[in-house]
A and B are shown apart, each in its own frame.
Chain A
């Protein structure tokens, strides 16, 4: 079945540091790929998405590129802020069928310190 693997956290960075959160997936065909962010005590917010190979999703300074050859969708940000502290979930929906079911990774907690 489909699966998503994320790097384990927590990841602790200083403000203005470069961020990479690794995400790889296993799925048939060309799934759609997503990054969701969850702030403490809140629901999930869509951060960015990509629906086909080589697409780059971007939002609020975050970027991720859909790499079919490495089955990866790593999240990057050039300069993190304290307000970016949250849990980040990588997820996919299958390319066909599957009822649009989201498969999540386990989440990566990011802590940004001054």
Chain B
């Protein structure tokens, strides 16, 4: 089945130690998103790639970076995690080529714990 896959499902890191979360998709969608979701809150968009074009949200801290080496994969890098970065990180994809299909499909998320 076509899907959005996130690895790992759970990640534990130490304060200040760089960490990378990964997302892959078999939907062949041209747009990929990264969201941060803290407990009992709605997801907050960090950035997205439209094909190879990177679009950062204005309030996303510089500590968060992203890479998209190809259509299928997208990575979220947290350069120096702080305790406040502990959250669920959600990857999503959508297709904008047709101009009519804009539904975002989410992966299962990676829960990050910062010690």
Residues of A within 8 A of B (CB): 32, 34, 36, 41-46, 49, 89, 93, 99-102, 104-107
Q: Is the CB of A42 within 8 A of B108?
A: yes
Contact of B111 among A41, A49, A104 (CB under 8 A): A41
Q: Which residues of chain B are within 8 angstroms of A41 by Cβ–Cβ distance?
A: 111
Residues of B within 8 A of A (CB): 6, 31, 40-43, 45, 48, 50, 55, 88, 90, 92, 94, 96, 102-109, 111
Q: Nearest chain-A residue to B96 (Cβ)?
A: A100
Contact of B45 among A32, A43, A101, A105 (CB under 8 A): A101
Q: Is the CB of B41 within 8 A of A46?
A: no
Q: Is the CB of B50 within 8 A of A99?
A: yes
Q: Which residues of chain A are within 8 angstroms of B90 by Cβ–Cβ distance?
A: 43-44
Q: What would 21 A/B residue contacts be, using CB atoms closer than 8 Å? A: A32-B102, A34-B103, A36-B106, A42-B108, A42-B109, A43-B88, A43-B90, A44-B90, A45-B106, A46-B103, A46-B105, A46-B106, A49-B103, A93-B102, A99-B55, A100-B104, A102-B45, A104-B42, A104-B43, A105-B42, A106-B41
Q: Which residues of chain B are within 8 angstroms of A102 by Cβ–Cβ distance?
A: 43, 45, 104
- What is the minimal beta-carbon distance from B92 to any residue of chain A, in angstroms? 8
